[in-house]
């Protein structure tokens, strides 16, 4: 292998590492954003339900859609949590 080609490979790897650091959020950030999204959809659903119950300008189908969206988001979050816990338990059982 030539030294020149090794320098090119190292330069490419350094550029890829810099792109990864700048462009991709970590798992913690993604999970935090997912939790925030679930909180937001639940708050919107609750707000629409209260507006509908008080006689506001909200249609019943809007309330039902918001409720279904909120429920689906919450179920997705719980499935991701359960899979994460299962993965952690499986890693603990692995021999060292």
Give 32-72 pLDDT, tens digit per residue: 999 999 999 999 999 999 999 999 999 999 999 999 999 99
- Return the pLDDT at 17: 60
The span from the first CA to the last CA of the chain, in angstroms, equals: 36
Mean pLDDT of 67-80: 96
- Return the pLDDT at 22: 54
Q: What are phi and psi of 86, to 5 degrees?
A: -60, -40
**CA 88 to chain centroid:** 18
How far apart (Å, rounded) are the C-alpha atoms in residues 30 and 38? 12
Assess contact for 31 and 76: CB atoms under 8 A.
no
Q: How far is CA 83 from CA 1, 49, 80, 88, in A?
A: 44, 32, 5, 9
Q: Is pLDDT of 1 > 50?
A: no
């Amino acid at each position: 292998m030539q030294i020149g080609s090794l320098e090119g490979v190292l330069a490419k790897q350094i550029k890829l590492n810099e792109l990864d650091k700048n462009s991709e959020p970590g798992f913690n950030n993604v999970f935090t954003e997912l939790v925030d999204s679930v909180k937001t959809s639940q708050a919107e659903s609750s707000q629409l339900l209260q507006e509908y119950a008080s006689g506001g300008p909200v249609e019943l189908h809007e309330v039902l859609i918001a409720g279904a969206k909120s429920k689906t988001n919450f179920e997705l979050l719980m499935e991701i949590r359960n899979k994460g816990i299962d993965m952690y338990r499986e890693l603990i059982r692995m021999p060292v």
